[in-house]
Structure 1
């Protein structure tokens, strides 16, 4: 081996002298995970020998990577042929050109086949016969196979071109400078292998990436050959399917004509929803009609009809009242009716033994649970008799305040049992119950109670009933009467037999296989269960899960409880149940109806609530007369807030306190409701100074705290007449004591003379009665009151006297007035204060 000690280090500047044709250097390669490698790179410059006198052409540097040394001796250069051979760069360029030509020809063949297939497929769309479709399918498969074959051919041509390009080219004949020959030999003697020349090929995938971002391929670009990018068959198929769908959906849709339900007033937006049109289109149409409206504005039914007609729909006019449920026209067929238990209401005067009689019949104590021993709620109970038949009893209060409760009981009942105490006779509430029964048109059975007492006079009761056109059977009438004793349980069987007999005459029937309808006999707000309504089902069957409307409240039946507090799944006709699941506490007497869905229930409830709000807020028309009457009115208002446990009690209390009102003072109920006293009630009371009356209810913790802070008065009662007595006393105290004037005497002023520096004395002639010192006096001039004063001094001649009688003269000194003239009249009176009663 030759000594290489004088070889310059790689990457250093070559020494002065002859120009070298090889330059070496190092390139640092970086890999992932922080790895690197240093590669020796040599730049080889090819010398081109030109003709004498011509400047030598610049050599093209070709970058090559030095491979590992191989033990192969360099082959001797062959002799140059007579014709000039292609240089290495020209051969590479030629191979590259051939490769590109092969690829272009293959791509053109593929695109032509695809375009031909597309045209044939478009032609096949027009043809509808099955044979032509089948041929089109065969043609398409053949074209796909041809396209696939063209792709394979293009790929094989590209592969062959790449293999030819990879083969080493023969070394060109070139003369080497004699001076450089020893140095090249020495430089390569240690490697024993020739340098492999790398072809200047583009980076793999670089051209395809450039073509990929060149934009979408269209048919025109594919035909003109503007792009080298090729789309797959799947992409072309997707594009054609998308174009086909767009052609199918681009046609005008057929307009759908709708039946639009239009109430008396409707917003433009709601009308647009019902017509399935755009709200902006309706507003535009209204603008053309000269109406400047918005989407949220309300229009009348006639304007809505114009819009509906213009947009090509059909209108169905409905009134607001059509929203409400109308059960009067819904009559059950005769063959669907089945016998039902009778509903019996027990009515009469307070303390005549109504609840005690019911206790004796059903074998339970109800009265013991009522405050003061009087009934203040409507109780609904179902009793099973010895013969397994059932009777529903309604127990109504007898106190005068519960008039509407008794009326409600008479309206939902089949038979009325009028309880009259044999020792007490007919009383005001007894007569009122008779009137309610006659108004309801239901039959009556008279139960003469307390016949076990020594002072009982049943015959006297029968005679008193004659005054009200109630003729019992013993006196030749058609009204049954039974002498009973609730305390001794006497003749209860006779009363039951009378009820059964009357029920058989009535032939009570109802259809149980239909949506339920009923009446609320009582309602309350329970702390743990929410709004609870005691409902008497009148026809149909009420089931758990039914959607119901009760007055202005709606909901879904969450649970049903019978009169013993046990849960039941359903309730048929004449069965009283407690209903849970309402959205609000209904009013007693409201009708319960089962509807098809919750949307319908909310719609009906909202309409009924709107009617109630309108009725409550609509004031009487203001006229000139009542405007001045209201201004001159000096009636004092006594505000109060009433909270009770059930709806019936609220109703009775409000009516009772309103009856206490007089011309001087009247009750103003700011708020009444069912349930415990809340913080909002206290806030209202604090702002108005009104007391809060709680009937069988108490305030919650927050309400008590707020009441202590705002000094609000609470009044708790459990007996209604105790409440009314307090209201009477409070209203009388608000008015103050009653002032009564008693005229004592009259006198005429004869002469006026000075008394002291400022005062004036009057000489009087007493005409009537007498005049006393210290009494109130009223000085009038031509029957017009000049002043109200008192007599501070009374003299006859020069002596002070206590009084002066009629026909005598005297002198008086009037307090706080000097406006006295001869001819004035003086009226003397006494003032008496009396405690006011309402």
Structure 2
């Protein structure tokens, strides 16, 4: 860790490499090597430097170099672990206070494979009791009852939105239902959805839809899934694959039962007896009603009268409504609600926290702003050049890649070659592979997963380039396969610690 505390003052660690020193000073490693040579020191780009040597180089280049001071433990936690805290809402909870909660499910799949039809079938088939008179509101999420147990569904527009929320630090989905048409098999967007779900480490339940069609071929679909690493249970694997017809509402009950089974295995829990925490699902500005936000409570219970803090704004919950537009007084874990009262429109994926009053809200906002300012200084997305320094000290070291190529014939040998690099402790992990130009969705996944986007004989969409530049995501494109593999191999080889050994090359006798 090193920080530029002003334009010319740089804090550095006691030991760092030539490459790392160049990064801290904001100069080329070649310039650092030249300066070392001027001082009689021959060094390579990965040569380790002590503080005194680094300080001399820095001073010669116009910087004041001072020793890096480790922040207090609490400060490190606030600055560097803040996104992880959002993902681990239960880390500070007493296990005795935790209770089972409903699973949160996202439905993904290729266009026209029946995602919307499935969601409609689930929604209408599970309206019970006093809910029957209500009309489902479009708030981006809703709950259904299955034999007295609840399941929350996020009605997102696809895997891009799923990953965009994750890129903002939000981990809201517990289970993904992957919809695959029985007459079409695994298609490009299916592969993308699989990649996005696996990158998020979310369990997948496959719904093989349209089994009522004459062209349906379950074995073809299962073979396609196996090719993507999803092996169905009846093929000897662990992936649940349920044949359904969303149009005829066949197999829906079995699908939902398997979702609940998957949730039981995951042992999903939360503490309902605390102030609420969770994530913004969607928000909009209504000219008549003001800012309307949909929140998913992930921990605690949100009550009417609480004050909700989201980003730099807050608002009092004067009234809140469930997914059927009915007013409710409280909402426990995994419950989606909509409410009015915010002064600003938040982003989907923003973290929210309930506090008791305005004073606590303003104090929390001030603390978050301070953390965000320091976070912006200390954090940046992954690049090939800083790959070494950011992964030093980890037990298992991985380079996450998203690979796009012009044709399948190019893609397969590239992926095979890259996955063959390294060993069990130092390896390449291909999060997503596909053909076609590099898209905004690819960049969004890279941002969420700390990955690098690699393109072979493809272009970068304008929207993808803008997002990458705005967020600092590295995109590298190649025209020669050898150059691509060589770059990754060199980056990966730097993960290995040097092995030093003494070798006897000769003997000499000293005579007075």
For residues 465-480 of structure 1, what are the structure 2 equivalents within 5 Å? 465-480=225-240
SS in 2 for 1:434: helix
For residues 26-425 of structure 1, what are the structure 2 equivalents within 5 Å? 331-363=92-124, 379-385=140-146, 387-398=147-158, 404=164, 411-425=171-185
Whether 1:548 aligns to 2:349 is no
SS in 2 for 1:361: helix
Alpha-carbon distance in structure 2 between the residues aligned to 1:340 and 1:528: 35
Residues 170 and 349, structure 2, Cα contact 8 Å, conserved in 1: no
Alpha-carbon distance in structure 1 between the residues aligned to 2:219 and 2:170: 26
Aligned mate of 2:332, from 539, 563, 572:
572
Residues 546 and 594, structure 1, Cα contact 8 Å, conserved in 2: yes
Q: Which residue of 1 aligns with 2:55?
A: none
CA distance 1:571–1:460, change in 2 (3 Å) = same
Alpha-carbon distance in structure 2 between the residues aligned to 1:428 and 1:488: 26
Cα offset, 1:435, TM superposition: 1.7
Q: Which residue of 1 aligns with 2:462?
A: 661
Whether 1:444 aligns to 2:245 is no
Cα offset, 1:528, TM superposition: 2.3
For residues 427-466 of structure 1, what are the structure 2 equivalents within 5 Å? 427-466=187-226
Residues 532 and 579, structure 1, Cα contact 8 Å, conserved in 2: yes
Residues 421 and 450, structure 1, Cα contact 8 Å, conserved in 2: yes
Aligned mate of 1:520, from 280, 295, 304:
280
Q: Which residue of 2 aligns with 1:491?
A: 251
Aligned mate of 1:510, from 262, 270, 274:
270
Residues 139 and 294, structure 2, Cα contact 8 Å, conserved in 1: no
Cα offset, 1:408, TM superposition: 7.8
CA distance 1:542–1:466, change in 2 (3 Å) = same
Alpha-carbon distance in structure 2 between the residues aligned to 1:410 and 1:462: 31
SS in 1 for 2:319: strand
Residues 410 and 437, structure 1, Cα contact 8 Å, conserved in 2: no
Q: Which residue of 2 aligns with 1:77?
A: none
CA distance 1:380–1:515, change in 2 (3 Å) = same
**Structure 1 runs not aligned, ≥5 long:** 1-263, 265-315, 366-376, 621-650, 672-838
CA distance 1:330–1:500, change in 2 (3 Å) = closer
Q: Which residue of 2 aligns with 1:51?
A: none
**Root mean square deviation, CA, Å:** 4.1
Pick 1 or 2: higher relative contact order, CA cutoff 8 A, min separation 6: 2
Cα offset, 1:382, TM superposition: 0.2
Cα offset, 1:535, TM superposition: 1.2
What TM-score results when the alignment is normalised by the length of structure 1?
Answer: 0.33
Aligned mate of 1:539, from 287, 299, 302:
299
- Once the two structures are superposed, what CA deviation does each residue of 1:210-257 show, in whole Å capped at 9, x if it has no partner? xxxxxxxxxxxxxxxxxxxxxxxxxxxxxxxxxxxxxxxxxxxxxxxx
Number of corresponding residues: 311
**Structure 2 runs not aligned, ≥5 long:** 6-71, 127-137, 381-439, 446-458, 471-512
Alpha-carbon distance in structure 2 between the residues aligned to 1:337 and 1:446: 29
Whether 1:481 aligns to 2:241 is yes
Whether 1:558 aligns to 2:328 is no
Alpha-carbon distance in structure 2 between the residues aligned to 1:408 and 1:470: 28
Residues 413 and 442, structure 1, Cα contact 8 Å, conserved in 2: yes
Aligned mate of 1:584, from 344, 356, 374:
344
Residues 557 and 581, structure 1, Cα contact 8 Å, conserved in 2: yes
Alpha-carbon distance in structure 2 between the residues aligned to 1:456 and 1:317: 58
Alpha-carbon distance in structure 1 between the residues aligned to 2:294 and 2:92: 25
CA distance 1:321–1:490, change in 2 (3 Å) = closer
SS in 1 for 2:279: strand
Q: Which residue of 1 aligns with 2:491?
A: none
Residues 345 and 410, structure 1, Cα contact 8 Å, conserved in 2: no
Alpha-carbon distance in structure 1 between the residues aligned to 2:270 and 2:463: 48
CA distance 1:317–1:491, change in 2 (3 Å) = closer
Alpha-carbon distance in structure 2 between the residues aligned to 1:497 and 1:438: 22
SS in 2 for 1:599: helix
Cα offset, 1:482, TM superposition: 0.5
- Once the two structures are superposed, what CA deviation does each residue of 1:311-336 show, in whole Å capped at 9, x if it has no partner? xxxxx999698699867585222221
Alpha-carbon distance in structure 1 between the residues aligned to 2:76 and 2:238: 47
Whether 1:595 aligns to 2:340 is no
SS in 2 for 1:594: strand
Q: Which residue of 1 aligns with 2:58?
A: none
Larger CA deviation: 318-327 vs 486-495 = 318-327
Residues 401 and 655, structure 1, Cα contact 8 Å, conserved in 2: no
Residues 410 and 440, structure 1, Cα contact 8 Å, conserved in 2: no
Residues 304 and 329, structure 2, Cα contact 8 Å, conserved in 1: yes
CA distance 1:611–1:456, change in 2 (3 Å) = same
CA distance 1:612–1:476, change in 2 (3 Å) = same
SS in 1 for 2:107: strand
CA distance 1:575–1:419, change in 2 (3 Å) = same
- Once the two structures are superposed, what CA deviation does each residue of 1:603-650 show, in whole Å capped at 9, x if it has no partner? 3324545666898999x9xxxxxxxxxxxxxxxxxxxxxxxxxxxxxx
Larger CA deviation: 515-524 vs 328-337 = 328-337
Q: Which residue of 1 aligns with 2:364?
A: 604
CA distance 1:496–1:399, change in 2 (3 Å) = closer
Residues 139 and 323, structure 2, Cα contact 8 Å, conserved in 1: no
Alpha-carbon distance in structure 2 between the residues aligned to 1:399 and 1:592: 23
CA distance 1:539–1:599, change in 2 (3 Å) = same
Cα offset, 1:446, TM superposition: 0.4
What TM-score results when the alignment is normalised by the length of structure 2?
Answer: 0.53
Residues 305 and 318, structure 2, Cα contact 8 Å, conserved in 1: yes
SS in 1 for 2:317: strand
